[in-house]
Amino acid sequence: MLYWAAVFLVISIVAALLGFTGIAGAAAAIAKILFGIFLVLFLLFLVIGWAGTRAIT
C-alpha cells in the first residue's frame, strides 16, 4: 500500500510540473488517502504485535 501511495505521489508531482493541475490534485488526494490507511494499519498491527508478545511471556 505504501508503494501505491508513492506511485500516486510521483504521478502527482509529474502532472503538476507539466501543468495538469486537475490530475495532480486527484493523484495527491489518492496518495494522502492511501498513506493514511497505511499509517493506521501499521499502528494497528504494531499494537497487536506488542500485545501478543506481552501475553505470551
Work out the pLDDT band at 1, boundaries 50, 70, 90.
confident
If one counts the domains in the chain, the total is: 1
Give DSSP secondary structure letters for 11-46. Answer: HHHHHHHHT-HHHHHHHHHHHHHHHHHHHHHHHHHH
Work out the pLDDT band at 56, boundaries 50, 70, 90.
low
Q: Does 55 have pLDDT greater than 70?
A: no
Domain that holds residue 37: 2-56
pTM: 0.78
Q: What is the pLDDT of residue 24?
A: 92
Residues 18-38: tens digit of each pLDDT: 999 999 999 999 999 999 999
Q: What is the pLDDT of residue 27?
A: 92
